[in-house]
Chain A
Amino acid sequence: MRRWGQAQIRVLESVIGGTGYGFDIMDTTGLPSGSVYPALSKLEKSGLVRSRWENASVARREKRPPRRYYEITPSGREALFSALADARDLARSLAKAVKEAG
């Protein structure tokens, strides 16, 4: 099982609802720019997200530069769910341990 960075989970979470571009992801996650981009690159390299450059005409129409959009892949979705499940398990066992400790 690969080890998950906080940043990667939150970046994945932020793109699960649809697509996003770098600065957008920074805005929604509140992560510093220094962790968002490496996280995106890492996720893309392991096939959990994929990216595409948007159509230049769309950007022109909206008077802004073309953006590189990232979206989650099926395996990314799966990985995110299992990671979240792991986190839930961990949280549950922690809670139990806390309760038992009194």
Chain B
Amino acid sequence: MAGPLAKLSRRIVALAAFLVPAADRERLKQEWEAELAHRFRQERTTLAAWSLLRRSLGAIPHALFILKEQWSREMISQDLRYAVRSLVNRPLFVTAAALTLAIGIGANAALFSVIDAVVLRPLPYPEPERLVSVFESQDDKGGRRDSPAPGNVLDWNRYSKTLEGVAAWWVQSTTLLGDGFDDTEEVPSALVTVHFFAALAVEPLLGRTFTPSEITGQAKVSVLSYELWQRRFGADPDIVGKDVRFKNASWQIIGVMPQSFRTPGTLRGEVQLFKPWDLESAYGERPNQARDWRFLRAAARIAPGFTLTEARAEMDTIAASIAEDHPKTNHGWGVELVPLKDALIGNTKLALTILLGAVGLVLLLACANVTSLLLVRASGRSREMAVRTALGASRMRLVRQLFLESFLLAGVGGALGLALARIGVEVLPRFAPAGIPRIEETVLDTRVIVFAVLASAAAGILAGLAPAFQGSATMLSETLKSAGGTVSTDRRRHRLRSLIVGAEIAAAVILLAGSGLFLRSFARVLAVDPGFDPDNLLVVRMRLDGEAYGGGGAHPYYTRFLEEIRALPGVVAAGGATGLPMDALDTDFDRPFWRAGEPRPEGGGAGVQIRMPTMGYFDAMRIPLLEGREVDIRDDRSRPRVLIVNETMARRTWPGESAVGKRLHIDYQDYEAIYDVVGVVGDTRSYGPKSAPKPSVYIPHGQNAYLPLNIVVRTTGDPLLVAPLIRQTALAIDPAQPVHSILTMEELMGGYTGQDRFAAFLMTLFAAMALLLATIGIYGVVAHSVSQRQRELGLRLALGARSTDITRLVLGSGFRIAAIGALVGLAGAVMASRYLETVLFGISPTDPLTLITAAAILMGTVLLACYLPARKAARLDPTLTLRYE
């Protein structure tokens, strides 16, 4: 028994000895080891042996004590000074290493700031985790979320105990009148129900919000957004009690919301004015419309003491009983509660997380390159380390010294990185598409700085780990005798560097593959035929004031406005529709339909999308007319209702037959009215390029005029050149009715393609960084190995090797590393592919062509990088290298 225990106790003493400086090591060993061995020999009982073993543990506190003395004596500051001095002496090395880390840390910090703003930070409401978005969903629609209908919202509020109150709102547009001509403007405003401010629980900055009696009484009072108060009312501190002037009335201002307040689902400051809205009085007398006009935005706060699951269960029960009471409108409809944050962020979170993973890999690559640099440096310093060891420095001391150096590098890199991130934080949101919620809140704040500091510390440890332990491992006598580094440690270092570079290449292949996939996915998105010609198309959004143009004024106004636009120079065609394809601004709605002579389906069945085009709309959009006729000047209220259907609608409703001449019921105007189909037009992508065309019908604007209209203007040249003329035309017709906004069709489509563009852009940027870093990495390893092997290569040349053999030899060494790295990278890309599945469009995440191209690009670049040292090796002069010692 004593034998193994004695051995164990020797181990413990050896460990203690390892901790202390070499100068003290022998004495410590002597004091402990010999005496212990002596006593172990004397002791016969196991018990005594155990107590000896326990005593040998005392060597560790002894060693730690000696170490502590040493550290406090020599002071960290001395090491620090030494580290600073040794770095300052090598400005080129420091610049290379610090810049490499700066790029990695900067890119990470910038992207983190975006993710922090969009995903991590809580929503700007108290107890945001209790807020849910409320949707209606139809079972047979595969759970597609629909907006709730007013009558259902009223019932939910009546019966629900788990929700504190379902708030509903509707974003519209209001014309504010000024004293003069210029300050008349259209602002986005929201009609809000009694629970709106209560559910969001944000206190006003000034004044108060609506009281229940103001809501039910439809009082003429309003609450301003911070932006409107600042901009239009000059931040007047006494604004409460003053009036805001609309077309035909003056409303009293009762409050101002704080700057941080936002209406869910809108950008900050987008909704500028809030008006009270009573669903009961607005829809109480229209029971049918109240239940299946599904158009509201709704949110609620889960009551204290209830969970989301309980609320969902209760709402399911309530929805079921509503469906039972009102089968015509609610059969098959349920309620869906989605945590507000999830509803707002949606798919963005996954895409951003993938990007964060990608940029994390870039930082790892940067660390790997710095490690590689440090390892090269270590082989040049092995004499220095040996001398320091001989003079009594402990291994710990050298490790500490080397770590201090890598930490210093990481510190400088982190500081530079933050400066880069500062730029990134400004630039990234500008590149970002409009679809990313909350991105305008991106700031470089303490959280980002803390992240950057942590990233730098991690980088310092990561980059310094291998060099610190490799660099401090010295073979004393060997190193001191030989001129340069020793052969065996150098070989070990070279192997380690090759391993690191191989890993870098694997990571670079993964990123290149990711970038290739995102780019091809984006190309597929762009290649989708939208069903119309988007070039040279201007979009003019109009929202006529209801007071002035309600009751039949809208159609004459738009007819005249369009005629005047068509007469403008540079305009080829113009028309308008209530909703445009590829428009992320979702103004559409679906209504139940059925063929003439058939019964109405229960619960509405699958709906059809309805849009109201004016004359000339299909022509201006270049949506092909396949059959029958277009919207006509005769299509007004005095004539029978007509419809133009799209191809999908025609095919699905009357398969194998011509749709023209058929009749269709739509539960829309005058409940269950019947329409004659007069034409069939081509499909368009209503909900962006990623979703297939859906059945749509077009009702002529003249038969069902709408106040808001999206006018499309086809121009001969740059469409934006016409924009000022159109604004003037509108004001010339009615000075109190300005244009809401003007944008190009390209910009409008960006709402759908922007996220793909952003992801592809960032992924490619990161992949390029990775490629660059990996290339530098492999170049460094191969070049260093050539300079180390000069004698050997010279000898080969002297013995008759041709320079092509040498080139091949050097290229081969780089190629081997790269090939293995690329294979591992491909395997990694395949493994990571399942995370990409949902964010890619029209391409498999394991698309072989993309993966092989990524590997090929990398191999090509690597060979180019290796060619430089290979050529240098081939041109070595054997006589010189052999003579040199």
- Same complex for A and B? Answer yes
Interfacial residues, chain A to chain B (CB-CB below 8 A):
21-23, 26, 32-38, 41-42, 45, 64-68
Query: Is the Cβ of B56 less than 8 Å from the Cβ of A33?
Result: yes
Q: How far is the CB of A95 from chain B (nearest CB, A)?
A: 35
A26 in contact with B55 (CB, 8 Å): yes
Chain B residue with the shortest CB-CB distance to A40: B62
Question: Which B residues lie within 8 Å of A23 (CB)?
Answer: 35, 39, 55
| A38 shortest CB reach to chain B, Å | 4
Q: Are A33 and B35 interface neighbours, CB within 8 A?
A: no
Within the complex, which residue of A26, A34, A41 is in contact with B66, where a contact is CB–CB below 8 Å? A41
Q: Which residues of A contact B34 (CB under 8 A)?
A: 65-66
- Expressed in whole angstroms, the minimum distance between the Cβ of A10 and any Cβ of chain B is 15
B47 CB, min distance to chain A CBs, angstroms: 16
For B69, the chain A residues whose CB sits under 8 A away are: 41, 45
Contact A34–B38 (Cβ < 8 Å): no
Measured in the bound complex, the distance between the Cα atoms of B60 and A52 in whole Å is 22
User: A44 to B712, alpha carbons, bound, how many Å?
Assistant: 94
In whole angstroms, what is the CA distance A64 to B30 when docked? 12
Nearest CB of chain A from residue B273's CB, rounded to whole Å: 73
Select B35's contact among A35, A42, A65, beta carbons within 8 Å.
A65
Chain B positions near chain A (C-beta within 8 angstroms): 27, 30-32, 34-35, 37-39, 54-62, 65-66, 69
Residue contact B61 to A38, C-beta cutoff 8 Å:
yes
Does B61 contact A68, Cβ atoms closer than 8 Å? no
Q: Are B65 and A37 in contact (CB under 8 A)?
A: yes
Evaluate contact between A34 and B35: CB separation under 8 angstroms: no
CA distance A35 to B58 in the complex (A): 7
Docked Cα-Cα span, A37 to B67, in Å, equals 13
20 A-B pairs in the complex with CB atoms less than 8 angstroms apart: A21-B35, A22-B32, A23-B35, A26-B58, A32-B54, A32-B55, A33-B56, A33-B59, A34-B60, A35-B61, A36-B58, A37-B58, A37-B62, A37-B65, A42-B65, A64-B38, A65-B34, A66-B34, A67-B35, A68-B30
- For the complex of A and B, the 4 pairs showing the least CB-CB separation, nearest first, are A33-B58, A65-B34, A37-B62, A38-B65
Determine if B31 and A68 form an interchain contact, defined as CB atoms under 8 angstroms apart: yes
CA distance A40 to B623 in the complex (A): 96
Contact in complex: A37, B61 (CB < 8 Å): yes
**A35, A37, A66, A67: residue with the most chain B Cβ atoms closer than 10 Å:** A37
Complex Cα distance, B39 from A64, in Å, reads 9
- Find chain A residues with CB under 8 A from B30 CB: 65-66, 68
| CB <8 Å contact, A34 and B31 | no
Known: A22-B31, A42-B65, A45-B69. A37 touches B59 (CB 8 A): yes
CB <8 Å contact, A41 and B58:
no
Q: Contact at A33–B65, with CB atoms within 8 Å?
A: no
Give the distance to chain A from B50, nearest Cβ to Cβ, in Å: 13
Contacts of A67 in B (CB 8 A): 35
Please name the residue on chain B nearest to A32 by beta carbon.
B58
Secondary structure call for the B interface: helix
- Point out the residues of chain A lying under 8 angstroms from B39, CB to CB: 23
A98 CB → nearest B CB, Å: 36
Whether B35 and A22, one on each chain, are in contact in the complex, defined by CB atoms closer than 8 angstroms, is yes
Assembled-state Cα–Cα distance A22/B38 (Å): 14
| Alpha-carbon distance A41/B55, docked complex (angstroms) | 17
Residue of B27, B55, B66 with most partner-chain A CB within 10 A: B55
Contacts of A66 in B (CB 8 A): 30, 34
Most chain-B CB neighbours within 10 Å: which of A32, A38, A68? A38
Q: Is the CB of B61 within 8 A of A34?
A: yes
Chain A nearest CB from B28 CB (Å) reads 9
A33 with B38: CB separation less than 8 A? no
Minimum C-beta distance from A102 to chain B (A)? 44
Considering the complex, give the chain B residue whose CB is closest to the CB of A21. Answer: B35
What 20 additional pairs, Cβ within 8 angstroms, besides A34-B61, A38-B65? A21-B35, A22-B31, A22-B32, A22-B35, A26-B58, A33-B54, A33-B55, A33-B57, A33-B59, A34-B62, A35-B61, A36-B58, A38-B62, A41-B69, A64-B38, A65-B34, A65-B38, A66-B34, A68-B27, A68-B31
Measured CB to CB, the nearest residue on chain A to B64 is: A38
Q: Provide the residues of chain A in CB contact with B61, threshold 8 Å.
A: 34-35, 37-38
Chain B positions within 8 Å of A41 at CB level: 62, 65-66, 69
Min CB gap B741→A, angstroms: 78
- Most chain A CB inside 10 Å of its own CB: which residue of B27, B56, B58, B59: B58
CB distance from A43 to the nearest CB of B (A): 12
List of A residues within 8 angstroms of B59 by Cβ: 33, 37
Q: Which residues of A contact B58 (CB under 8 A)?
A: 26, 32-37
Which residue of chain A is the closest to B58 with respect to CB atoms? A33
- Report the separation of the CA atoms of residues A45 and B24 in the bound assembly, to the nearest whole angstrom: 14
| CB closest chain-B residue, reference A53 | B30
Closest to B28 in A: A37
For the complex, what is the distance from the CA of A36 to the CA of B30, rounded to whole Å? Answer: 16
Chain A residues near B66 (CB-CB < 8 A) = 41
Specify which chain B residues have a CB less than 8 angstroms from the CB of A68 in the assembled complex. 27, 30-31
The distance from the CB of B72 to the nearest CB of chain A, in whole angstroms, is: 11
The smallest C-beta distance from B247 to any residue of chain A, in angstroms, reads 86
In the complex, what distance in Å separates the CA atom of A68 from the CA atom of B27?
9
Tell me the bound Cα distance from A79 to B690 in angstroms. Answer: 87
Q: In the complex, what's the smallest C-beta–C-beta distance from B835 to chain A, in angstroms?
A: 51
Specify which chain A residues have a CB less than 8 angstroms from the CB of B57 in the assembled complex: 33-34
Shortest distance in angstroms between A29's beta carbon and chain B's nearest beta carbon? 13
- Select B37's contact among A36, A37, A65, beta carbons within 8 Å: A65
What CA separation (Å) do A38 and B35 show in the bound complex?
Answer: 17
Q: Which residues of B contact A37 (CB under 8 A)?
A: 58-59, 61-62, 65
CA distance in complex: A74, B135 (Å): 90
- Inter-chain contacts of A35 with B (CB < 8 A): 58, 61
A23 and B59 CA atoms in complex are apart in Å by 12
Nearest CB in chain B: distance from A58 CB, A: 14
Interface centre among A23, A33, A36, A67 (most CB of B within 10 A): A33
